[in-house]
Chains A and B, each alone.
Chain A
């Protein structure tokens, strides 16, 4: 199609056609073949191309945008957690270092965000600010396992050795979550958060001393401690009837199932100590131990010492095949040996004497049995008063068959054994038939 008004500069003819054969539209003169004008090769957006020339030919490397965003995220996390300036600076340094490393430069955005959280976590640990991985995973809304994996890798790359978080440090921060003060709940259920924290801390320390904390996750233990602390601060019927579930509903926290087991374990320990209180005449059971919790916690070290000594006495007396006469003499020894016990000094030797032989007879049978049948290494849980639950209830290992010991690996294998693993032709036919029938039925 020739265009009016265009003339070829080469030959002057006005027969100029548009040539669409190639990717670039051209106006070509028919007579001499010269190109009159050309279209644009690209369609550039208004205002120039999106990637500017100056940016593509820049000499100095500009900081990566994602690194800047990551640093801002680190700052945001620090502000949410209200940590001090040192921790913020340290976490930013770590994030800068870790981000540039080859293990983290090409990972997903989610992982980079988790990395930001881990940097904050490690800085808090180094500067003694109690923060758990649970909190960070909540903040980042990430799987705790992912957070753990990124944390381990980061620590390895940056060669940091961070001190380990103690449960006791975290108790205070955790107890703030429980909305159980008089502002949130009716007066009869309310507790001052300071008292609650103090008592829960004492319970957690007691649990740590008696093997309940080691190897367990922090939050269920703290939940159990806070629940028992709340019950024991005002141990009236109303509070004692409150189950853990109801308590969590009232305090507006998410209940953790393992906390029930921890409550049982802590109550067991409290019962063991409650038995040693001299002025308590009735038997201490998990149901009525909550009333004694205040006394137990106040004198816990002395009660622990007494319990351990009593236990030792039982063991010694069992080994000497104890009779009723020797028990009181050892009891009086025990009474003499603890003159430094402060409030417990008012102990009634009569009550003790009445208690111990009763315990002694029952326990002696148990001990003589266990000592004869168990060898020392796996059974240390049975000999000691306080032991980790996994040692007390140790799993029975399957007993090895004695014949297996003589196996060399190169023996003869009889045919009859092997036949037992192969189906007879008739069985094969039956099996195939059954399968076909089942297939037809299912389809």
Chain B
């Protein structure tokens, strides 16, 4: 059975988290004073800066390490990070954009069928685990891809992985396993 079926599955990336370094110390007070769209959190020691385009929130630490969240693609994340570095440059810091790395990608995907979670867990022990009293989804971890897939009985799945390629591979890998435990959408006729 082919892992991809007639209609292509729509994998929607909802969040990309990336980090980079500016290789210089940043004065958070200056950023909070002279930057717009910033929130200063002195108790934690960071500044949150929100960019409008692309829609990104960045946590800036005084050591020069910055974490960007909220992007919808890897390229978007890179563009947003570079914009941020330019803003900091304009504010007067000797910024060098370096060590950009996408750390986490979160995607959701909707199967066109419902899934029988108990059978799914039985077929895939011990990689899959399901505790209905704790969380309504079954968790499937693919070690070599470092990806975690949460499978809900309605057919939606959420995938987290270190990059977009891994996420796509993970969905491809798990699709046949889900296909074989699908629940018919209509209630089966009881005789």
Q: Interface residues, chain A, CB within 8 Å of chain B?
A: 132-134, 145, 148, 151-152, 159, 161, 164-165, 209-210, 214-218, 301, 304-305, 308, 376-378, 380, 384-388, 390-391, 397, 400, 404, 407-411, 413, 417-423, 428, 431-432
Q: Which range contains the number of B residues in contact with the other chain? A: 35 or more
Q: Mark B124-166, 1 if CB is under 8 A from A, else 0.
A: 0110011111101100000000000000111100000000000
The answer to whether A380 and B185 have CB atoms under 8 Å apart is yes
Which residues of the partner chain A approach B45 to less than 8 Å between Cβ atoms?
Answer: none
Which residues of the partner chain B approach A161 to less than 8 Å between Cβ atoms?
Answer: 125-126
Most buried by A among B90, B130, B133: B133
The answer to whether B133 and A217 have CB atoms under 8 Å apart is yes
CA A308 to CA B189, docked complex, whole Å: 10
- 28 A-B residue pairs with Cβ-Cβ distance under 8 Å, sorted by A, are A133-B134, A148-B133, A151-B131, A164-B118, A164-B132, A165-B132, A165-B133, A209-B187, A215-B132, A215-B152, A215-B154, A218-B133, A301-B190, A305-B189, A385-B186, A388-B154, A400-B72, A404-B73, A407-B73, A407-B76, A409-B75, A409-B77, A410-B82, A418-B86, A418-B90, A422-B36, A422-B90, A423-B36
Task: List the 8 closest pairs (A to B, CB-CB), nearest first.
Answer: A409-B78, A215-B136, A409-B75, A148-B134, A407-B75, A377-B112, A214-B153, A421-B87
Given contacts A215-B153, A409-B74, A418-B87, contact A404 B130 (CB under 8 A): no
- Whether, in the assembled complex, B176 has its beta carbon less than 8 Å from a beta carbon of chain A, the answer is no
Which residues of the partner chain A approach B189 to less than 8 Å between Cβ atoms?
Answer: 305
Q: Interface residues, chain B, CB within 8 Å of chain A?
A: 7, 9-10, 12, 33-37, 49, 51-54, 72-79, 82-83, 86-87, 90-91, 110-113, 118, 121, 125-126, 129-134, 136-137, 152-155, 185-187, 189-190
Most buried by B among A159, A390, A410, A422: A422
CA A152 to CA B131, docked complex, whole Å: 9
Tally the A-B contacts, defined by beta carbons under 8 Å.
Answer: 122
Which residues of the partner chain A approach B86 to less than 8 Å between Cβ atoms?
Answer: 413, 418
Name which residue of chain A comes closest to B92, CB basis: A422
The answer to whether A377 and B72 have CB atoms under 8 Å apart is no
Chain B min CB distance to A44 (Å): 53
Name which residue of chain A comes closest to B115, CB basis: A214
CA A209 to CA B114, docked complex, whole Å: 13
Given contacts A380-B112, A420-B36, A422-B90, contact A390 B154 (CB under 8 A): yes
